[in-house]
Amino acid sequence: MSEFIHLTTPLTDEDVKRLRIGDRVLISGVLYSARDAAHRRLVELLKEGKPLPFDVRGHVIYYMGPSPAPPGRPIGAAGPTTSYRMDPYTPELIAHGLKGMIGKGARSDAVKEAMKKYGAVYFAAIGGAGALMSLSIISAEVIAYPELGPEAVRRLEVKEMPVVVATDAYGGDLYEEGVKRYALPSI
């Protein structure tokens, strides 16, 4: 297994350019959490030409809705949700400067095209490993849409969150490559 690449957000174009599918990355810095409901609102704001509740330029969105924080912890379980539900909204955000996404599962062709065109990277975290993932989150604060409960937008401070590059800015897709490598002829 390759060594980890350390990255700190916000990401630069150079950060994005050096990443290739299969790279194992430890992310530190600030992430913003958002799921379907929040994405819908963000894209509506963009269409109306209104400012977003946070600056997406150079930033990374984590597709995640945590369980409530027990006393003494910054957050509850905090693993990724399935990314395809965000696909209809993602190209618009990438066009406005979003540089990275963390989730689980393959992306649509439209998202991959936008990633190539504007330079962005998609990381996979381990789905269902919510307890483990929560340990890399230092602080969490709701910054928009508190009425959405678990789906509210949170500003997360993370330290060395383990992820793998699943789709790079060159059209590489680890989901396709990985399955191709291990598929056997059907019987």
Partner 1 sequence: MRQISTEKISQAVRDLAIRANVELGEDVILAFEAAMEREESPTGREILKRLIENAKIAREQRIPMCQDTGFAVVFVELGQDVHITGGSLRDAITEGVRRGYEEGYLRKSICHCITRKNTGDNTPPVIHFDIVPGDRLRIIFAPKGGGSENMSRVTMLTPAVGIEGIRDFVVQRVKESGSNPCPPTIVGVGIGGTMEQAAILAKKALLRPLGSENPDEELRKLEKDWLERINRLGIGPQGLGGRITSLAVHINMMPCHIASLPVAVNIQCHAARHKEIEL
Residue positions annotated with a catalytic role: 39
Residue 181 CA, chain-centre distance (Å), reads 25
Write out the binding residues for partner 1, residues 75-114 only, by CB under 8 A.
Answer: 76-79, 81-82, 84, 104-106
Residue 93 main-chain phi, psi, to 5 deg: -70, -40
**Number of residues engaging partner 1 in binding (CB under 8 A):** 51
Minimum CB separation of residue 126 from partner 1 in Å reads 6
Nearest Cα neighbor of 39 from 27, 28, 29, 53 is 53
By 3-state DSSP, what share of the chain in percent is helix, strand and coil, each rounded to 5? 30, 25, 40
Part of the chain binding partner 1 (CB under 8 A), chosen from 4-12, 50-58, 89-97, 161-169: 161-169
Nearest residue to 38 (alpha-carbon basis) of 166, 144, 130: 144
Q: Does 146 bind partner 1 (CB under 8 A)?
A: no
Question: DSSP character for 31?
Answer: E
DSSP code of residue 98: -
Choice from 3, 47, 48, 181 touching partner 1 (CB under 8 A): 181
CB of 58 to partner 1, least distance (A): 26
Q: Which residues here bind partner 1, judged by CB under 8 A?
A: 1, 22, 37, 64-70, 73, 76-79, 81-82, 84, 104-106, 124, 126-132, 134-135, 148-151, 162, 164, 166, 174-175, 177-187
